[in-house]
Amino acid sequence: MNQECPHQSPDLSLTLKLNRVPNFCQILQGGFQIDVRVGCSIRQLLCEQLNLDSGYVENRISTIFLDGKPVDDMDVRPNSSTHHHRQ
């Protein structure tokens, strides 16, 4: 834990072969928090900040939820005033 910022979570880096990802589905479905830059579209967040392949995003991600609501268009920038940030 960072001594200067006691509320910051410790870092975790995980590298897996693609065929091992299903082993983590239950953990990932439980939810997790990541720090990202705001003010961009969800597609930009996924492709540019999280470095997901654009083909993967387009062809494999079928549903995205933001604050518990489905997102219809990944290219629209969400209104940051509607997001609730957990402390």
Do residues 57 and 46 make contact, with C-beta atoms less than 8 angstroms apart?
yes
Q: What is the pLDDT of residue 45?
A: 93
Is the pTM here over 0.95, yes or no? no
Q: What is the pLDDT of residue 22?
A: 85
Question: What's the maximum distance between 2 C-alpha atoms anywhere in the chain?
Answer: 42
Q: Which residues of the chain have pLDDT under 50?
A: 1-6, 81-87
Q: What is the pLDDT of residue 54?
A: 93
Q: Which amino acid is at 62?
A: S
Q: What is the pLDDT of residue 66?
A: 86
